[in-house]
Amino acid sequence: MDLPEEILAHIFSFLPLQDKCNAFTVCKAWSNIMTHPSSWKDTEVRCESGTSVPERYSALLSLVRNLKLIMSLTDPANRKTALWVLRQAIARGDGRLQGLSICCVGNTPLFYAGQDLQQGLVDILTNGSSLTLLDLKGVPFTLSDSFVRSVAMLCPALQSLYVNNHSLVCGVNAETLRQVLKSCRSLNILGVFQASLSQDVFKDLMLPERPALKKLELRCERSLKYTLPLCDQIWLELKLRHPRLWVELELDHTLPELHVPGVLQPSIPVRCLRLLTWTLLLNEVRIVGQSYATTLEFLELQTTASSELNYVLIALAKQCIKLQEVHCYCVVSQEVITAFITNCPNLYRYTLKTHKEPHPWTCTKLK
């Protein structure tokens, strides 16, 4: 109770909504502090079966600056509650909501289960939006072209947009992405399916009036079969235009093996790489060591154990000395572990096992 109100308000800002509500009932002093705007700056709201948002706290939701909505899709009532929360944060506010992240848990009962959520989000944003960050990576359903175009038009202040969610298919084409770049002129962090990219999109990203592109997250999956591959030259030009750009690549298990080498172009400034293909990956790991030695900091592999894999991983450890994390979800030799610890001075966390363990495997922290 001797802590200043500002410090307590900052501490309370890290609590999810239910714990914020509980803090109201502790004492009068805490109740007063919980009405401080700082207590609501970052707020997580869970909309799951059996949970609800008390009506008396609706006015305080307008104080939220960064909102994370976690909902279960098994019950339509959960989506309805989530939209109600979002409406309080936007419609009753003064345009202060800056960041919105939506994450869905549980099994999606039908492939079109998110249509009401997409339309509801558009309807709410129509009332006015000052969003600078929108993260939809956690939604499992396909995001349509019309939805993404509407969001871009309604949120012109966006600086960060993530639509690289784990949908079965890519629903955003290159022309839609070009419209997003045209509507959101301050956009400098972008997460999309690689199938949404094209040479015209790259040309738009390289226009002199665009701000410096900081980060590009790309999800590579089966849709790449139906698009023209991006040549290394255009990646080189993009890197020259945006020298501080770093790229995160995620290769999904649905990506055909023959398309993997075409994705791993040498001029991509890859800092984070997830090879989740469950293929042998021997040649791919060799390419990684040769092409991304000066940039790679995070590596995740889902592959098959072999003596050849041990050999190429040891070679990679000697090449990619900037690695901070490496996670390989198959058994490796002790020599592999020693090679990463010895050659990568910045390594602070890894998942490298010499024998199988029960799922989930635990990682080892060095620092």
Instruction: Give the pLDDT confidence of 240-269 residue by residue, as tens digits.
Output: 999 999 999 999 999 998 899 899 999 999
For residue 329, what pLDDT is reported? 95
Determine if residue 144 is left, alpha or beta; phi over 0 gives left, psi from -120 to 50 gives alpha, anything else beta: beta
Place of tokens 């909501």: 97
Confidence (pLDDT) at 42: 86
Q: Give residue-wise pLDDT tens across range 313-328.
A: 999 999 999 999 999 9
How confident is the model at residue 87, as a pLDDT?
A: 84
Percent of all residues in the chain with a pLDDT value above 90, rounded to a whole number: 58
Place 108 in a pLDDT band, splitting at 50, 70 and 90.
low
Is the pLDDT assigned to residue 100 strictly greater than 90? yes
Helix (H) or strand (E) holding 243: none
The helix or strand, by DSSP H or E, that contains position 219, with its residue range, turns out to be: strand 215-220
Nearest Cα neighbor of 136 from 107, 158, 111, 153 is 158
Q: Does residue 112 carry a pLDDT above 70?
A: no
Q: What is the pLDDT of residue 93?
A: 53
Computed over every residue of the chain, the mean pLDDT equals 89
* pLDDT value, residue 62: 80
- Contact indicator for 163, 172 with CB cutoff of 8 Å: yes
Residue 113 has pLDDT above 70, yes or no: no
Contact 307, 286 (CB under 8 A): no
